Structure 1
Amino acid sequence: MTSFVEGLTSPEMEIAEGGVILDNRTRFADLKVMLDSNKDNLKVDAMKRIINLIAKGKDVSELFAAVVKNVAAKNVELKKLVFVYLVRYAEEQQDLALLSISTFQRALKDPNQLIRGSALRVLTSIRVPMVAPIMLLSIKDAVRDMSPYVRKVAAHAIPKLYSLEPELELQLVDCIDFLLADRRSLVLGSAVYAFDEICPHRLDLLHKHFRALCRGLADVDEWGQIVMINMLTRYARNELADPDKSPPDTDIVLLLNSARPLLQSRNCSVVMAVVQLFYHVAPKAQLSQIARALVRLLRGPRETQYVVLTNIATICEQNPVEEGTFAISKVR
């Protein structure tokens, strides 16, 4: 007799009353019964408990067969929870996941954008080369999905497919090129991430997207801003004119004007990315504009202080104070 309400064995219980150790079959028996039930509310409750266990770091992979049977459920809440589980374990349970590929493909047409996105995540988590053509077709459809959320998921799926089948690079680059033209801020950061993972050498792809990426920089989330600034810095160093020439390159002016407000970001990594951009791309006369932002970061944790001071030392070494290009001491 275990200490759990209604006589069910708690999946979190490793030891029953009296010190009897319960094996996994006993621990998860109640969840399997609930997942086999005809009542959606019991299945939803079981899936919530399973996801809770995953969040706590518990191994619930043995429930895969019981969970995957519910992948075609009509209850939207249940289906969402099932896909969350499958995203976690599809790579480990590939044989069972392969049996449900047709269901995942149908879910890619689901009216709910969260279901479509989750289905694509699960499908691209099955690391079997024979499924690569299906993954590619799914990604090609997803990058043109009406939902920016699904397009974002598609951008993150591209590197996963590339790692499985590098021979598909040219077709995946076409998908990336399409995503880089997206005007939704939710998608842009992920599109640039896919670009950096697949074809960072193809700077020619960015010519037609450069100005739109600069203008969209402020609206992207902080993670996306870091990725985009680093990519735009590399592009500017390789493709744009000398920043100190007169008159200045209009594209460099646009890039610097778009990035400058981010010196006020609460995220120190974003600020340091902008600092790196100004260090490499800005005219020498504008380098002093980053001083105040660097001093502000010195109020942060010791680890941040160390990184900031190291960068300040590098900048000052390359741009002596007496030349009037970078003077931290003037900032109060």
Structure 2
Amino acid sequence: MVDSINRIATALESAKVITREAAAVATSKLGESSYRHYSEGIAPEQLRELLNSRNSREVKDGLRRIIAIIASGEGPIDVETYFSDVVKNITFGEAKIKTLVCIYLQRFAESDPNLALLSINSLQKTLIDGDPEIKALSIKALADIRVSSLHPIVLHSLKKAVSDSSGSVRSEVGFAILKLFIARSDEFAEELLQLLDQLLSDADPQVVSSAVLVLHECFPERLDLLHSHFRYFCSVLHRMDPFAQAAVIDLLIRYCKMFLPRPKVVNSSSETGESVPLPDKYNEILFPVYDTEIHPDLDLFLKSLERLVYSSNATVLLATSNAFLQLATPAQFKKSRLPQALVRAVSSSSNLGVQIILLQSICLLSSIDPTLFLPYVKKFFVLPSDDATVGSLKIKILSILTNESNVKFMVKELKYIISNSKSSALVIAATNSLAVCAMLSPGWEAYIIKGLISNMEIDKLPTAVLGSYVDVIRVLVQRNPKRHLSSIMKLVKVLDARKALSDNARASVVSIVGEIAAFEYKICPDILRKLAGTFAYEGSETRCQILLLSAKLLSYEIEKFKEEQPNETYDFSQSRIAQICQSVVHLASFDEDFDIRDRARAISSLYDTGKYEIATLLFQAPKPSPKMTLINDDMEVGDHIVQQLGDPGLDKFVMEYYKMIPWNDEESNDTDDLRNPATLKDYSRYASSLSGSFTSGSKSSATHIKQESPAGISHTPLASHQGKKYRLQTLDEFFSDIPSTRATKKKIIIQEESSSEEDESDETDGADDGDEDSTDQSSSSSSSISVHNNN
């Protein structure tokens, strides 16, 4: 009785363990968080037993637990100690086991190169496996094992696999070339280039995608390899992988600039038909109406790009926009519908990084040509769900697209952001954009200054926002200080009332007071008197501006004194301004900031030595009006700098990406024979086909296909190994080619006395197996029969 209970308890415990393991395996498919639960209940000895088992099911279980521990990144078991137990399982014939072993090898092959080399022979054997996935995985594993002594073996394997019948295998060869080039570019560059040239001639767009990526990363200067493939790449561009589309577009842009003639712009508004070459800078065509004379190959490339407008990949859209910026006219750029595609990509993307890159690119493109995105200006309104960086970029784009026709609702939108946004970054960006709107007319300038000053009276206003208000007002007031005298006086009152103003903002207000000293001198001494009393408590920038203001007011007073009493000597002791200036200079000479100390000594030296004319030139020189232009027209596209009130500008990558490439006019006279289509290689002939009369064991060379037009490939009829043209078979013909599965075939020959029957038996000897049934029926009535084995 007790033994029975023990057996039942043991069975229940085993069932419990099996159930938990099955549940762990099932839940591991739900996410990476379940990887740890899948392998946490196994001991190291049990895991080793699974890996060393002869049962493929147990080996797969052990390998899955190893991979689960690697994926979770935690666990009490050190999976690296099972290196030899895992690697030896590469000899299993099951595809899943080989896949798991290859994944393990990619991670830990460097830790034990000697043991890793033991698996190379098995990996090489899998290169002749019938499953393309296994062969591709073996190539990937060989290339990922970063052992220097293995590289020649990898190169030898790639030379064999480059003509494989499977496109996925040849595509993996391309990526292996990239890895091998990174590891041993100095030794294998020439041989890898030959393999790459062979892949570039492939008829499979998937293989061409990997080959183009290798060319872009490893041999970017070898544009001459594209001569015979230019038209074919244009025809299959829409069929390539997205990562390869961006690379091939970049290569073809540089190819067109190097080897194709520059387009010509023809003036359509005049009868003479004047034509000029396309300018190096975008949007510098002087003709109001024009036509374009373009090379057929360049036109083919631009037309192939139009199909990529509907791509969902942001990188492809950016590469396409760069191509139209570099090679096309503004009219062609607008007609391509790329601006609409870029705006759509911003709205549809949920990735913050992608949105930022797209918006920065739109910002740069709209700075070059605002008409590209003017129809979609409402798409850049800030949404409540937008990140602060995304919202700031949208506001920057709105400021670039602002003109006299839309300034009214632009100001309304920016004021709404300032009033309702809780993000200080968005409020500062909107304030800076208001300055751009204010420069369109004096009326908008006065309206915006008044609104900003009224907002400064809000009590709970962040210091950074308050400082941005002052900066914008300073920039606008400095354009015409006489017109905004009342606004300056309000700023001075804010300077007294708001002691929490940032040092930069207070310094800006003091500098504005210095600007009005030339025409409203009488109100400045009293302001200086108040500022001198708080000099020791101000920030370094404010102290510097107070020192300059005192020196400037003293120069104005000395100049006025010389005009009224030219023969008299100016007495510093009788002037209150001079005494205030001396007090400020004395305090500044002991300042902790060496720049302020140096300025104080220079000012004291000028006035003590009586060099009043030099002081007048230094302190009364008019400042130039600030320019709020977002783009400096004198710079190249890649060197544009956003100068919008302390804005850090666009990302350097974006500016470098859109940098204009000059046309190489010296090489533009090459003939079209240079781009004659190359002979493409179609390795699908080697693949086994259910409807074909040829097998995968055929040793004939790859079928060559000649391009007849850029739009497609004209395939010549495939020839079998017998030299006949290939044609589809009927169902009866297909089944008639299948050999019998019987090991031996018996042929029954009837022997009769008559000569006529002997002739019939001779015909029976040469009959096919399909006639055996009738022969068997006749043998039942024969008097003597003989049986022969027919193998």
Instruction: With the length of structure 1 as denominator, give the TM-score of the two structures.
Output: 0.85
- Tell me how far 1:231 sits from its aligned partner: 2.3
SS of structure 2 residue aligned to 1:146: coil
Q: Residues 60, 233 of structure 1: CA spacing in aligned structure 2 closer, same or farther, 3 A cutoff?
A: farther
Q: 2:132 matched to 1:113?
A: yes
2:223/2:251 contact within 8 Å kept: no
Q: 2:210 matched to 1:164?
A: no
More strand by proportion, 1 or 2? 2
Q: 2:250 matched to 1:230?
A: yes
**C-alpha distance in structure 1 between counterparts of 2:101 and 2:241, whole Å:** 28
1:68/1:86 contact within 8 Å kept: yes
2:126/2:138 contact within 8 Å kept: yes
1:244/1:284 contact within 8 Å kept: no
Q: Residues 312, 164 of structure 1: CA spacing in aligned structure 2 closer, same or farther, 3 A cutoff?
A: closer
Aligned to 2:148: 129
Q: Residues 261, 94 of structure 1: CA spacing in aligned structure 2 closer, same or farther, 3 A cutoff?
A: same
Q: 2:61 matched to 1:45?
A: yes
1:90/1:122 contact within 8 Å kept: no
Aligned to 1:23: none
| Counterpart mapping for 1:119-198 below 5 A | 119-166=138-185, 167-198=187-218
1:113/1:147 contact within 8 Å kept: yes
**C-alpha distance in structure 2 between counterparts of 1:16 and 1:194, whole Å:** 42
SS of structure 2 residue aligned to 1:86: helix
Q: Residues 113, 304 of structure 1: CA spacing in aligned structure 2 closer, same or farther, 3 A cutoff?
A: closer
**C-alpha distance in structure 1 between counterparts of 2:197 and 2:82, whole Å:** 40
**C-alpha distance in structure 1 between counterparts of 2:243 and 2:206, whole Å:** 11
**C-alpha distance in structure 2 between counterparts of 1:244 and 1:305, whole Å:** 36
Aligned to 2:103: 84
Q: 2:360 matched to 1:310?
A: yes
Identity of aligned residues (%): 34
The RMSD of aligned alpha carbons is 2.9
| Counterpart mapping for 1:220-299 below 5 A | 220-244=240-264, 247-288=293-334, 289=336, 290-299=338-347
- Tell me how far 1:274 sits from its aligned partner: 1.0
More helix by proportion, 1 or 2? 1
2:52/2:85 contact within 8 Å kept: yes
Q: Residues 303, 40 of structure 1: CA spacing in aligned structure 2 closer, same or farther, 3 A cutoff?
A: closer
Aligned to 1:54: 70
Deviation larger for 276-285 or 36-45: 276-285
**C-alpha distance in structure 2 between counterparts of 1:32 and 1:42, whole Å:** 11
Aligned to 2:475: none
- Tell me how far 1:226 sits from its aligned partner: 2.1
SS of structure 2 residue aligned to 1:186: helix
**C-alpha distance in structure 2 between counterparts of 1:170 and 1:181, whole Å:** 17
- The residue type equivalent to 1:188 in the other structure is V
Aligned to 1:21: none
- Tell me how far 1:207 sits from its aligned partner: 0.7
The Cα offsets for residues 169-189 of structure 1, whole Å up to 9 and x where unpaired, read as: 011011111111112122122
- Tell me how far 1:15 sits from its aligned partner: 12
Q: Residues 138, 315 of structure 1: CA spacing in aligned structure 2 closer, same or farther, 3 A cutoff?
A: same
**C-alpha distance in structure 1 between counterparts of 2:37 and 2:45, whole Å:** 12
The Cα offsets for residues 175-234 of structure 1, whole Å up to 9 and x where unpaired, read as: 111111112122122111111222111000011111111111111222222222222223
- Tell me how far 1:47 sits from its aligned partner: 1.8
- Tell me how far 1:262 sits from its aligned partner: 1.2
Q: After the TM superposition, which parts of structure 1 deviate over 6 Å for at least 4 consecutive aligned residues?
A: 8-11, 13-17
Aligned to 1:329: 374
1:68/1:82 contact within 8 Å kept: yes
- Tell me how far 1:14 sits from its aligned partner: 12
- Tell me how far 1:291 sits from its aligned partner: 1.9
1:84/1:118 contact within 8 Å kept: no
**C-alpha distance in structure 2 between counterparts of 1:297 and 1:120, whole Å:** 36
**C-alpha distance in structure 1 between counterparts of 2:231 and 2:206, whole Å:** 18
Aligned to 2:232: 212
2:38/2:65 contact within 8 Å kept: no
- Tell me how far 1:132 sits from its aligned partner: 2.2
1:80/1:114 contact within 8 Å kept: no
SS of structure 2 residue aligned to 1:165: helix
1:86/1:122 contact within 8 Å kept: yes
Q: 2:122 matched to 1:103?
A: yes
- The residue type equivalent to 1:217 in the other structure is L
Q: Residues 141, 283 of structure 1: CA spacing in aligned structure 2 closer, same or farther, 3 A cutoff?
A: farther
2:314/2:358 contact within 8 Å kept: no
- The residue type equivalent to 2:68 in the other structure is N
1:13/1:27 contact within 8 Å kept: no
- Tell me how far 1:305 sits from its aligned partner: 4.2
1:50/1:60 contact within 8 Å kept: yes
**C-alpha distance in structure 2 between counterparts of 1:293 and 1:308, whole Å:** 11
Larger Rg: 2
Deviation larger for 118-127 or 193-202: 118-127
Q: Residues 125, 297 of structure 1: CA spacing in aligned structure 2 closer, same or farther, 3 A cutoff?
A: closer
**C-alpha distance in structure 2 between counterparts of 1:239 and 1:305, whole Å:** 35
The Cα offsets for residues 52-88 of structure 1, whole Å up to 9 and x where unpaired, read as: 3333335633222111011111223322322232233
**C-alpha distance in structure 1 between counterparts of 2:43 and 2:36, whole Å:** 8
- The residue type equivalent to 1:328 in the other structure is F
**C-alpha distance in structure 2 between counterparts of 1:51 and 1:197, whole Å:** 31
Deviation larger for 74-83 or 205-214: 74-83
Structure 2 residue runs without a partner (length 5+): 1-13, 25-34, 266-291, 378-791
- The residue type equivalent to 1:42 in the other structure is E
Instruction: With the length of structure 2 as denominator, give the TM-score of the two structures.
Output: 0.38
**C-alpha distance in structure 1 between counterparts of 2:340 and 2:81, whole Å:** 55
- The residue type equivalent to 1:163 in the other structure is I
Structure 1 residue runs without a partner (length 5+): 18-25
SS of structure 1 residue aligned to 2:228: coil
Q: Residues 253, 92 of structure 1: CA spacing in aligned structure 2 closer, same or farther, 3 A cutoff?
A: farther
Q: Residues 292, 139 of structure 1: CA spacing in aligned structure 2 closer, same or farther, 3 A cutoff?
A: same
Q: Residues 76, 243 of structure 1: CA spacing in aligned structure 2 closer, same or farther, 3 A cutoff?
A: same
The Cα offsets for residues 235-281 of structure 1, whole Å up to 9 and x where unpaired, read as: 22322221346531111111111111211212222211211111112
1:83/1:122 contact within 8 Å kept: yes
Deviation larger for 26-35 or 216-225: 26-35
**C-alpha distance in structure 2 between counterparts of 1:16 and 1:191, whole Å:** 43
SS of structure 1 residue aligned to 2:128: coil
- Tell me how far 1:147 sits from its aligned partner: 0.8
**C-alpha distance in structure 2 between counterparts of 1:143 and 1:91, whole Å:** 26
